[in-house]
Amino acid sequence: MITLAEVLRRSTGYLEQHGSPTPRLDAELLLAHGLGLSRIELYTQYERPLDDDQLAACRELVRRRGLREPVAYVIGSWGFRGLDLAVDARVLVPRPETELLVDRCLELLEAVERPRVVDVGTGAGAIALSLKSERPDAEVVACDISQDALDVAAANAARLGLDVELHLSDLLAQVPGDGFRLVVSNPPYVSEREMANLEPELSEHEPRLATVAGRDGLEVYRRLLPEAAGRLVDGGSLALECGSGQAPALVAELAAAGYGQAGVDPDLAGIERVVWAPWR
Ligand SMILES: C[S@@+](CC[C@H](N)C(=O)[O-])C[C@H]1O[C@@H](n2cnc3c(N)ncnc32)[C@H](O)[C@@H]1O
């Protein structure tokens, strides 16, 4: 009989050979999922023998990860600001840096009662659902151009009991109403050229619709800035996530579109990641 410790060791080695940047962490997450344990329990049951069914289940999870499928897709869920979101290949895996965009949104909404908010390109619903969870008085609307993504967001909203209004829409075109205090978006921002150099998790597994935005990665912002301006109340804000090196261009685009003085927040790696600006 092979022990859990040995399976963990072999899985880590296999994932390392197949190019995972975090092989031990991946192996722990996959085995914990396959065996129905928490990561802590892996250690308390280190010497436990695994039977054939358990081995086969774990092997299949590790095999998929060896093909560089994101761990989140393999286990079917991912954490975002304390929410457990179901995710699969229909949506981008929510990233930790997007949690900082939500921090900025909460700050922008701090003094506003019952704010009306719209999340453009909601994917699995990470931004919209965490805003609704952390500001239950907010009226949260979310949209996506992908019906597949909206289905994932709707299932997450229902499971978490969070009331978010969802619309199938190209940016804000099919979203009804105005008077938004905040328009927030983590849109596609990878340029076609950059895409070729990205890790296979992103370039081969995550939806292209969620990642690529034209030749310089700024195409979606250029369309969104004027659309958002038409829906914001005076003093409302647009808050955006952007890619490494894009913040200065985005700040310039905001100024050209008539927004007020923009602010920029770095992420934990020091990359300028969140750009926001008031409307008027
Ligand atoms: C980078 S993902 C972000 C997903 C999610 N908001 C997050 O932060 O994890 C971008 C999302 O925008 C959607 N999208 C792309 N183009 C769009 C458009 N023109 N209108 C609305 N949504 C769009 C994609 O389908 C995808 O779900």
Give DSSP secondary structure letters for 170-187: STTTT-----EEEEEE--
Q: Which residues contact 171 (CB under 8 A, 6 or more apart)?
A: 120, 121, 143, 145, 220, 223, 224, 227
3-state SS of the chain: helix, strand, coil percent to 5? Answer: 45, 20, 35
Give the closest residue (by CA) to ligand 1 atom 12.
Answer: 121
Q: What's the CA gap between 24 and 32, in Å, rounded?
A: 12
Mean pLDDT computed over every residue of the chain: 96
- pLDDT tens-digit profile of 87-135? 999 999 999 999 999 999 999 999 999 999 999 999 999 999 999 999 9
- Looking at residue 193, its pLDDT comes to 86
Q: Which run of H or E residues covers position 240?
A: strand 232-241
Q: Which residues contact 64 (CB under 8 A, 6 or more apart)?
A: 73, 74
Q: What's the CA gap between 32 and 40, in Å, rounded?
A: 9
Q: What's the CA gap between 100 and 113, in Å, rounded?
A: 22
Q: What's the CA gap between 231 and 86, in Å, rounded?
A: 30
Q: What's the CA gap between 67 and 17, in Å, rounded?
A: 11
Q: Is the pLDDT of residue 248 over 90?
A: yes
Confidence category of residue 144, pLDDT binned at 50, 70, 90: very high
What does the buried/exposed string (b/e) look like for 15-42 if buried means 16 or more CB atoms within 10 Å of the residue's CB?
beeeebeebeebbbbbbbbbbebeeeeb
Ligand 1, atom nearest to 211 Cα:
1
Q: Are the beta carbons of 249 and 255 closer than 8 angstroms?
A: no
Confidence category of residue 253, pLDDT binned at 50, 70, 90: very high
Distance from residue 180's CA to the centre of ligand 1 (Å): 19
Q: Are the beta carbons of 149 and 90 closer than 8 angstroms?
A: yes
Distance from residue 280's CA to the centre of ligand 1 (Å): 26
Q: Is the pLDDT of residue 1 over 90?
A: no
* Cross-strand partners of 140: 117, 164
- Looking at residue 280, its pLDDT comes to 80
Amino acid 19 reads: G
Is 175 close to ligand 1, i.e. is its CB under 6 Å away?
no
What mean pLDDT comes out for the span 185-200?
Answer: 91
Query: Which domains can be identified in the chain, with CATH numbers?
Result: 2-67 (1.10.8.10), 90-278 (3.40.50.150)
Query: β-strands 139-144, 116-120: how paired?
Result: parallel
- Looking at residue 37, its pLDDT comes to 96
What mean pLDDT comes out for the span 265-274?
Answer: 97
Confidence category of residue 196, pLDDT binned at 50, 70, 90: confident
Ligand 1, atom nearest to 146 Cα:
25
The token pair at 260 is 């007020």
Task: Kindly state the percentage of the chain with pLDDT values over 90.
Answer: 94
The token pair at 126 is 């990470």
The token pair at 152 is 């994932």
Confidence category of residue 182, pLDDT binned at 50, 70, 90: very high
Q: Which residues contact 143 (CB under 8 A, 6 or more apart)?
A: 118, 119, 120, 121, 122, 150, 166, 167, 168, 169, 171, 172, 174, 175
Ligand 1, atom nearest to 187 Cα:
10
- pLDDT tens-digit profile of 212-221? 998 889 999 9
Is 249 close to ligand 1, i.e. is its CB under 6 Å away?
no
- pLDDT tens-digit profile of 7-59? 999 999 999 999 999 999 999 999 999 999 999 999 999 999 999 999 999 99
Give the closest residue (by CA) to ligand 1 atom 8.
Answer: 186
- Looking at residue 56, its pLDDT comes to 97
pTM for this structure?
A: 0.96
